[in-house]
A = this chain, B = another copy of it.
Amino acid sequence: MNRVEYRRRILEANDAQASVLRQRFADGRVLVVDVVSSPGSGKTTLLEATARTLPRALRLGCVVGDIATEMDADRLRAAGMPSHQIVTGGACHLDARLVSDGIEAASFDTPDESLPLDVLFLENVGNLVCPASYDLGEDEKVALLSVTEGHDKPFKYPAIFARAGITLFTKTDLLPHVDFDVDCAREQVLALNPGATVLEVSVKEGKGLDAWCALLQYKLDEKRRLKAIA
Contacts and interface: CB of A to CB of B under 8 A. Distances in A.
A28 interface: no
Interface residues of A, number: 38
Contacts of A71: 152, 155-156
Interface stretch (A52-60, A100-108, A114-122, A142-150): A142-150
A156 B3 contact: no
A205 to B, nearest CB: 12
Contacts of A150: 40
Contact of A38 (B1, B40, B67): B40
Given A39-B149, A177-B177, 19 more contacts: A1-B1, A3-B10, A38-B39, A38-B149, A39-B153, A39-B156, A40-B149, A40-B150, A68-B155, A68-B158, A69-B152, A69-B155, A69-B156, A71-B155, A92-B92, A146-B148, A148-B171, A148-B174, A173-B177
